[in-house]
Amino acid sequence: DTLWDLAIAEVENRENPDDDGKHVEILEKSILFMGNKNGGKTTIILRCLERDEIPKPTLALEYTFGRRARRHNTPKDIAHFWELGGGTSLLELIRIPITSNNIRSFAVVLVLDLSKPNELWTTMEKLLQVTRNHVKKILTKLEKTNPEVATEIKQKMWNNLQRDHPDYELVDPFPIPLVIIGSKYDIFHEFDSEMRKIISKTLRFVSHYYGASVVFTSKSEALLLKARVLINHLAFGYDKSKSVSVDHSKPLFIPAGLDSLSQIGPPPASDSDIGKMGANTPLELWKKVFEKTFPPKSFCDLQDTKDPAQDLQYAEYEVDVMRAQKNQ
């Protein structure tokens, strides 16, 4: 038998098991992690997969996977974890993991470094914008080739918000499930109380507006566990937590759909300031209020200028000698 014959036989066995004809479908989900450079994405992935490795800097786009069985003696479900390195410098690579084949089971985790509020809005806006545009392109194609799937994805967008939710008409859900993680809470916790309040309220508004969950985390086990709950829900369909923490003096934990604009309140600025800002949408208004306190770093500053070919973790003696010779 060739390798292909064995593979076909294996698949047929799985699809038609002998034991009482019970067939358990293997679920596959994919998650793309993106966010600030050195924001802690790799650490979060390793904790979710219960791996005790020392995180290395991520170059470009990296892939790993996890497997979990739902019950004893059942085949394991698979979760594909993609991680986009380099902050916002490699946005083009988002096209690789998110395709029309896996869009139905795809989710995004945006990791924002709370210790760098001046990079926060720019990073968030750029990454979410590019991802959203890419997903929209896929959906437009699907509407022509597979309209049922396109409709299903669009309906799923609204699943987190009940029809009777007071903000139903006021939000604009992200086209695929989204979790926003605020990392480095231990450093953020030392910030001035007013600064913490502005950042927390802004992230609450953004995640509620996009129909996303939000959680603050750090290296502490207890906080990493909370982030794991939300990620395991996306990756393996585990139950979502119903607990909520909205107090800005504590780490936020708000699963999608459990917040409201009335609880979040208006942007933290005086009425006269808000009047002068001339914003067209609520999102734009929050952006202007946030950037008044934390002037943004320009997009160019966030671009990665280091040459990855010089990275020591990818050194290969023979290749490097030839390269040096060629350069010379």
Q: Is the pLDDT of residue 73 over 80?
A: no
Q: At 203, is the pLDDT very low, low, confident or very high (cuts 50, 70, 90)?
A: very high
Pairwise CA distance, residues 183 & 115, whole Å: 8
DSSP state of 26: P
Q: Facing residues of 24 across strands?
A: none
Instruction: For 46-68, give one letter per residue: b (16+ CB within 10 A) or e.
Output: bbbbeeeeeeeebeebbeeebee
Mean model confidence pLDDT for the chain? 83
Q: At 307, is the pLDDT very low, low, confident or very high (cuts 50, 70, 90)?
A: low
Q: At 202, is the pLDDT very low, low, confident or very high (cuts 50, 70, 90)?
A: very high
Mean pLDDT, residues 115-136 taken together: 90
> For position 27, what pLDDT does the model report?
82
Angle subtended at Cα 263 by Cα 175 and Cα 230, rounded to the nearest 5 degrees: 45
Q: At 21, is the pLDDT very low, low, confident or very high (cuts 50, 70, 90)?
A: very low
> For position 308, what pLDDT does the model report?
66
Highest mean pLDDT among 72-81, 180-189, 225-234, 241-250: 180-189
| Rg, the chain, Cα only | 22
Mean pLDDT, residues 4-12 taken together: 85
Q: Is the pLDDT of residue 17 over 50?
A: yes
Q: Which residue spans within the chain are E strands per DSSP?
A: 28-35, 61-69, 76-84, 106-113, 178-183, 213-216, 253-254
The percent of residues in the chain predicted with pLDDT above 90, rounded, is 14
DSSP letters along 212-265, please? Answer: -EEEE--SSHHHHHHHHHHHHHHHH-PPPP---B--TTS--EE-TTS--HHHH-
The percent of residues in the chain predicted with pLDDT above 70, rounded, is 93
Q: Is the pLDDT of residue 262 over 80?
A: yes
For the segment 212-225, what is each residue's pLDDT rounded down to a tens digit? 889 898 888 878 88
> For position 100, what pLDDT does the model report?
84
Tokens of 144: 């022509």
Delineate the domains of the chain, giving CATH numbers in brackets. 25-327 (3.40.50.300)
User: Tokens 């997903």 appear where?
Assistant: 135
